[in-house]
Amino acid sequence: MAAKQERTFIAIKPDGVQRGLVGDIIKRFEQKGFRLVAMKFPPVIASEDLLKQHYIDLKDRPFYNGLVKYMGSGPVVAMVWEGLNVVKTGRVMLGETNPADSKPGTIRGDFCIEVGRNIIHGSDSVESANKEISLWFKPEELVSYQSCAFSWIYE
């Protein structure tokens, strides 16, 4: 079972932090059965350089500069979650990038209205998760442990 575990990077954006949604978002991941293995708390104000590296894949998009500016405008809670298929499942839990396309029950479907204020970022692949995790966390900031609930979550 341990070989199938993976990690994902989740960041609660400035709008999610300012709106007091950090606890609600963490609760959803914990209730699903995923393990929190790293978190920047208190929240951090990300540097422009870090954000440019983080969103490098979007650098040619017209919204890139605005996104980098917005993400640096307030505190961000950066986290690493671990579990079976956590990248794919985490993306489903987040909902669509555009909250108008997100189903009720998803984070964006329940808490967001506009795409520019969609409160949360989640890695879209294992490869991008590994890249994003290494940008935001040092290896020694990641913990490895087995939850006492492990056998109640996994077969």
Find out whether 65 is annotated in a ligand binding site: no
* Residue that has been written with the tokens 């969103």 in this structure: 55
Find out whether 118 is annotated in a ligand binding site: yes
Q: Which of 80, 121, 129, 137 is catalytic?
A: 121
Find out whether 61 is annotated in a ligand binding site: no
Find out whether 69 is annotated in a ligand binding site: no
Token code pair at residue 87: 């990248």
Find out whether 13 is annotated in a ligand binding site: yes
* Residue that has been written with the tokens 């999610």 in this structure: 16
121 noted as active-site residue: yes
Positive or negative torsion for Cα 106, 108, 112, 114 = negative
Give 123-132 contacts, CB < 8 A, sequence gap 24+: 123/8, 123/9, 123/10, 123/87, 123/90, 123/91, 124/87, 124/91, 125/87, 126/6, 126/87, 128/9, 128/57, 129/6, 129/7, 129/8, 129/9, 129/87, 130/7, 132/9, 132/54
Strands (E), 1-155: 5-12, 35-39, 77-84, 120-122
Find out whether 19 is annotated in a ligand binding site: no
Annotation: binding site for ATP:
13, 63, 91, 97, 108, 118
Active site residues: 121
Annotation: binding site:
13, 63, 91, 97, 108, 118
